[in-house]
Structure 1
Amino acid sequence: MVSDPNYFDDEQMKADREKYVLDLTRDNVQLLINSIWELPTERVEESIVAKLPAAKAPLPRARKLPVPKPLTKWEEFAKKKGIKKRTREKKVYDPVLDKWVPTYGFQRYKAEKEKDWVLEVPQNDPYRDMFKEKRDLRIERVAKNEVARMKNIARAKKIATPRTGFVGPESASAKQLITASNIAKASTASVGVFQESLPNDKQARGIGVKELMPGEKRKKKASTIAGEKRRNMDIVTKVLNKKPKIDIDRAISLQKSEARAEYVPLPRSCGREEEEAANEGTGRKKAGKGGKKAKAFSRKKPKGGQGKRNHSKRAVGRKRR
């Protein structure tokens, strides 16, 4: 109802704060009383009552104010020419189906499918798929509408779009700019020979003016003496220090296979000394550990305990279930 737009007086506030605040409060209360008596009044039980206005609670908005939807290209043209939109009927009568069908929507597609259950094929092309052509035309119309919708969004946001082709990025990168500059230099009449370079000009890595000249890639670049000497020394070092490569694992496996081939099994009646003497030099290790006398080599299968299990010893052989 009442507001005081005046600023505080700093000098009076510093001189006498209590007196200044008291005077300011008195003036504001007087303004409030004057504004109350300006309101419409009425008498209630021998008392005069003022009718206060409705309370207002200004709250901040969580979102910005809604803006009007931008017009599409066709809406702008219709507004300029004064074309008014005609209201379409939701259903129209189809004399072929002899019933009312929807004007648009999925029910319309079902009605068209029911109506065109057979299509005439041209005589010059009997294998022509008319159903596929009709389906392709429908897909093309949908894609055309989608492209028009995207263009309207781009126009509303003031985004420049080409008439045809792929929409590229808004700005070129530094590498693309350097490449374009080098191509422009090599596109002159002198193929970039007399083209002056700008200060702080950079060359694209691998795409300089010389690389863009015809026949430059076939020419071998002149090498320096130090670089050529270093390359020659590297070649000599590799040749002199070349050693035969030996596969240790393969050599061990070959030796083991040869030892197995040379092994001669003897009858069980032969003793330990005779077996070692017969297989001396084959590379086979002696059986047994810790100097204990090992048993003669036997190819018998393990007995597997035969039902007599000793829990203090580990079971030998395959476990049967």
Structure 2
Amino acid sequence: MDVSDILAAHAEKQKAVTVEKDIPLVIDAGFLTVTDLNPVDAESYNEDLEGYLMSTARDGIQALVGALFSLPTTSSEEGPIAQLPPPTTQLPRAKPLPKPKPPTKWELFAKAKGIQHRKRDKKVWDEEKQEWVNRWGWKGANKDKETQWLTEVPANADVDHDPRKAARDERKARIAKNERQHQQNLARVQGASAQSGTAPNADRKKQIDRTLATTRTSTASMGKFDRTLEGEKKLKGVKRKAKVSADAEKSRDLAIIQKLEREPSAKKAKSSSGNGVLNVRKAIRAASKGKGSAALARESGGGKGKKGRK
């Protein structure tokens, strides 16, 4: 008996075991789900809850397995594999639909003038390289004047005129202009939101207050001696947190004091435990009252030493 015979026999068995419901079960083989719209039998539910749930789940699984075996299958080493159809159940979104972005100044102008937006390709054809290159970005075509090996210099140009630097400055100016226009669009949208009393203006105000509070408390004095702005509210609840407890700080200070007290005695013990020459020198210096060994020898020799010298 081959695989097709086994599948046929199993399909016949599935047909023999049918699930009959007052309201037919909704089977979505694409999502492997079964929806039972039949009302709950209150008597069976209250009498044996576990048995009722098991019976309902068994009927749904039986109907789903029967639907799967009715699908076209392909054989593999692990066994027959059913080809699932596209899902028919429309699932809800996990998040709400995004709000449409407000139109920019150019979009409003284009709509008023009837200008159609034409999307430009990201690649352009380079005649010199004979290949497609990026219009912007790394090695983009907008930097060709900055990288070309020969550039025409105007006749009235200065002596120190740099064509590459001029092209780069012009490109940077365009970028700055675009960024400035973008910020103006954002400010215009926030202004419109403020007039209508919508949430973006309140969120922006909270963000500014939070940033201001962070900068005020970033100094060593926690903003106590910083210059305040006009209309700025006093920060509440801003305190510097102690990194160590009082007991730990006390123990640390006592350890430092004990260490300072031990250092002089340790140095003295180290000096007294030195070599013998150092001790003899100290003894001679003490006996001669700082005059040295020669003076001590003369004093110990008496008058003979003096007569010999004469």
Q: Tell me which interval the TM-score lies in, with the shorter structure as reference length.
A: 0.3 to 0.5
Give me the TM-score of the superposition, normalised by structure 1: 0.32
Higher percent of residues as helix? 2
Normalising by structure 2, we get a TM-score of 0.33
Pick the structure with greater CA Rg: 1
